[in-house]
Amino acid sequence: MLVSAMLLLTACPRVEPDGPDGPDVPSGPDDSWKQQASTQKLSGITYQLNVYSFADSDGDGWGDIRGITQHLDYLDSLGATALWLSPIHEAMSYHGYNVNDYYSVSSKLGTEADLKDLIAKAKAKNIGIYLDFVLNHSGKDNEWFQSAVSDPASPYRSYYVLSDNPSADVAAGRIDNYAGAKTPGMGQWYSASSGNIGYNGLLHFKLDASNASQPKLTVTQTTEAAQSGNTDTSVKWFIYENNAIRMYKTGNNVFEITLNINNNWGVLVKDDATQWGDHKWGAKAGDQVVTFGTPKTLVKGDAANDITFGGTSIQYFASFDASMPDLNYGPYATASESAAFKDLAGAADKWIKMGVAGLRLDAVIWIYQNQTDANVSFLKQWYDRCNTTWKASGGSGDFYMVGEAWCDNAEKMAPYYAGLPSNFNFYYWYTLKDRISKNKGHDFAATVNRFQNLFRGYRSDFIDAIKLTNHDEDRAASDLGRDLAKEKLAAAVLLTSPGKPYIYQGEELGYWGDKSKGDEYVRAPIKWTRSGSVPSTALNGKVDNAMLSADISVEAQEQNQASLLRVYRDFAKARNSWKALAKGQMEEMSSPNSSVALWKMTYEGQTIVVAHNFGSNTAAFTLTGCTTDKMIVTNGVVTASSGFLSLGPYASAVILQ
């Protein structure tokens, strides 16, 4: 590697942005341009970090906000103009995506004062702070939800997707969250029973089945001893609690039994011990609660609900899992008038007024169950509300907001640009890793342009949030077979592509990991020094120590001129120093070699040629009509002279024209 570096230095003298290139080149070392990029937020590099595992300031095993503040120089060295923080609010889980209080800072992560201090100190380095805001669902422990399901008069009842008969309500179009769909796309209904609808004690059951299609069940409280199940198999009626218990025949079509009931959901009646379907009998929707001594007419099959002894049997809808009840914003066209919207917006207002510079919105395609038009309408209302607060608080330009609209393909995601100024481009990484694996770069620029043309169709000033991987995906290094040369290439491509690049915590160090043993393994702590410890309590110790004990620490890579971190820093510096890289329009150039990705970036009279070799063999070619003597930054083995360019395996060159 040293030989390669020396060859590179002798063959390609680099130009600096304050070099002799005329007035269209920014002056000063870097910061004047970086400030401009940061202010406009069109091209600034954003670093995505997991607050709980990035840096631990107090030794409690949890990363924290002060830990971020202590490492702002590191983030600055990566050219960051913004940080996307994982959710900082009080939440049920370490990752923060099941929020208990949107107005709070989790005590495990710090205080509001810590956040204000981070915002101020980051701003001094032209770094903005973006919060992760979870609008699709809250945590189940959120007091909004606890109140909603336990108190029929709760003011929070409208905040959630609740029903005592989901199938009927969905069929009748009464579930606003479905936005007209008959199936949710993802997620399911869960019982919100909280112990008050079941029963604990002796009950006598009397079933009158003289009308076989409308049997009547009378339940009474009793002090009689509980009976064991009848063994006379000629009787086909059962009370079902934890299992089916056969009743006793006491008259013509009359069956009875006394049982000691102890559960939190109620009972059912069955006419077969093991089969369900039409053998299940229960209460009609809306008439589930028993009045002791009063006969209840039963219905069967899908219409049969649990027969309960307390409050209403409420179910709630959750797109992800039972700990994350979906929030409800009413009919999408008027979502901003809903109580939940106003409350969440109030929380967002608090953070925007504090100085937060942007929001990352989680799981936006599920707010209205993958109904694109409904979600876009909602997001536009949400964005406008936050942008109004931003401007009223003295924010310059428009507020930044990026959505996680994780769709099957770019065509399905593109419409989300009608709602938000920026969206994550998952398809960028899918394309990049595919082309690197195939050693084919020739159509990369055309594919990126195709994505951007899709987005442009919905918003002329779209901000393409490009990325390798994030906290929900297998690590980029793992996808690339832990091949350092390919990891460096991916970094160089990311930081020379049009859009707003996101670097995910640890990606710059070559962290590997996949989700097969748990999400924690793609969320590893930063190893700051060779011998130091890492905060692993939040991750419940689920840390790949073999990786972290390799020579992968920040300290080790800062001392190694051939490290991946070095490539990130070199290319980040170039992006923040040259306006055509930061803000340029991409123009594909015809590839001289199927392994080579070749494009121009042009902005306000400045043109830069970008060349990457996706192949494992050297690619040598003439760059027709281009100069090759003003090299801005390179990676790998690069030689150039008089319009001729040679790129070693996985090498990159960025050349001023």
By rule CB under 5 A, what string of x and - marks binding of each residue 468-507 to Mg ion? Answer: ----------------------------------------
What's the min distance (Å) between Cβ of 85 and Mg ion?
14
| CA–CA gap between residue 384 and residue 380 (Å, rounded) | 6
Q: Which residues of 586-608 are buried (b: 16+ CB within 10 A; e: fewer)?
A: bebbebbbebbbbbbbbbeebbb
What's the min distance (Å) between Cβ of 32 and Mg ion?
36
| CA–CA gap between residue 226 and residue 6 (Å, rounded) | 89
Judged by phi (left if over 0) then psi (alpha if -120 to 50, else beta), residue 323 lies in alpha
For the purposes of burial, counting CB atoms within 10 Å of the CB of 426, is it exposed (0-12), middle (13-18) or buried (19 or more)?
buried
Tabulate helix, strand, coil % of the chain (nearest 5).
30, 25, 45
Out of 30, 90, 241, 404, the active site residue is 404
Q: Which residues of 153-167 are buried (b: 16+ CB within 10 A; e: fewer)?
A: ebebbbbbbbbbbbe
What's the min distance (Å) between Cβ of 492 and Mg ion?
34
| 610 backbone dihedrals φ, ψ, rounded to 5° | -115, 125
What's the min distance (Å) between Cβ of 106 and Mg ion?
11
Map 109-178 to HEC letters: CCCHHHHHHHHHHHHCCCCEEEEEECCCECCCCCHHHHHHHHCCCCCCHHHECEECCHHHHHHCCCCHHH
| CA–CA gap between residue 366 and residue 70 (Å, rounded) | 36
Please identify, using beta-carbon distances, which residue of 95 and 442 lies nearer to Mg ion: 95
The radius of gyration of the chain from alpha carbons, rounded to an integer in Å, stands at 31
| Residue 399 lies near Mg ion (rule: CB under 5 A) | no
What's the min distance (Å) between Cβ of 116 and Mg ion?
18
Could you tell me if 504 and 48 are in contact, meaning their C-beta atoms sit under 8 angstroms apart? yes
Q: Which residues ranging from 54 to 83 are in contact with Mg ion (CB under 5 A)?
A: 56, 58, 60, 62, 64
In order of 92, 213, 382, 456, 586, the CA distances from 461 in angstroms are: 37, 64, 18, 7, 15
What's the min distance (Å) between Cβ of 539 and Mg ion?
13
Please identify, using beta-carbon distances, which residue of 62 and 603 lies nearer to Mg ion: 62
Q: Does residue 117 have an active-site annotation?
A: no
Q: Tell me which DSSP letter residue 87 carries.
A: P
- Cross-strand pairs, 424: 465
Please identify, using beta-carbon distances, which residue of 23 and 59 lies nearer to Mg ion: 59
Please identify, using beta-carbon distances, which residue of 62 and 416 lies nearer to Mg ion: 62
615: Cα within 13 Å, side-chain hemisphere = 19
Please identify, using beta-carbon distances, which residue of 89 and 488 lies nearer to Mg ion: 89
Please identify, using beta-carbon distances, which residue of 52 and 240 lies nearer to Mg ion: 52
Please identify, using beta-carbon distances, which residue of 304 and 534 lies nearer to Mg ion: 534
Out of 76, 169, 326, 362, the active site residue is 362
| CA–CA gap between residue 611 and residue 634 (Å, rounded) | 9
| CA–CA gap between residue 528 and residue 56 (Å, rounded) | 11
Q: Would you tell me how many other CB atoms lie within 10 Å of the CB of residue 392?
A: 11
> Which residues lie below 8 Å from residue 15, measured CB to CB, with a gap of 6+?
21, 630, 631, 632, 656
What's the min distance (Å) between Cβ of 556 and Mg ion?
23
What's the min distance (Å) between Cβ of 92 and Mg ion?
19
| CA–CA gap between residue 189 and residue 321 (Å, rounded) | 10
Please identify, using beta-carbon distances, which residue of 62 and 571 lies nearer to Mg ion: 62
Q: Which residues ranging from 27 to 56 are in contact with Mg ion (CB under 5 A)?
A: 56
What are the tokens at 581? 């890289």
What's the min distance (Å) between Cβ of 52 and Mg ion?
9
Please identify, using beta-carbon distances, which residue of 63 and 79 lies nearer to Mg ion: 63
What are the tokens at 618? 């050297």
Total residues contacting Mg ion by CB under 5 A comes to 5
| CA–CA gap between residue 294 and residue 292 (Å, rounded) | 6
Please identify, using beta-carbon distances, which residue of 62 and 144 lies nearer to Mg ion: 62
Q: Does residue 404 have an active-site annotation?
A: yes
What's the min distance (Å) between Cβ of 23 and Mg ion?
49
| Residue closest to Mg ion when measured from CB atoms | 64
Q: Which residues ranging from 222 to 241 are in contact with Mg ion (CB under 5 A)?
A: none
Binding site for Mg ion (CB under 5 A): 56, 58, 60, 62, 64
Q: Which residues are catalytic?
A: 362, 404
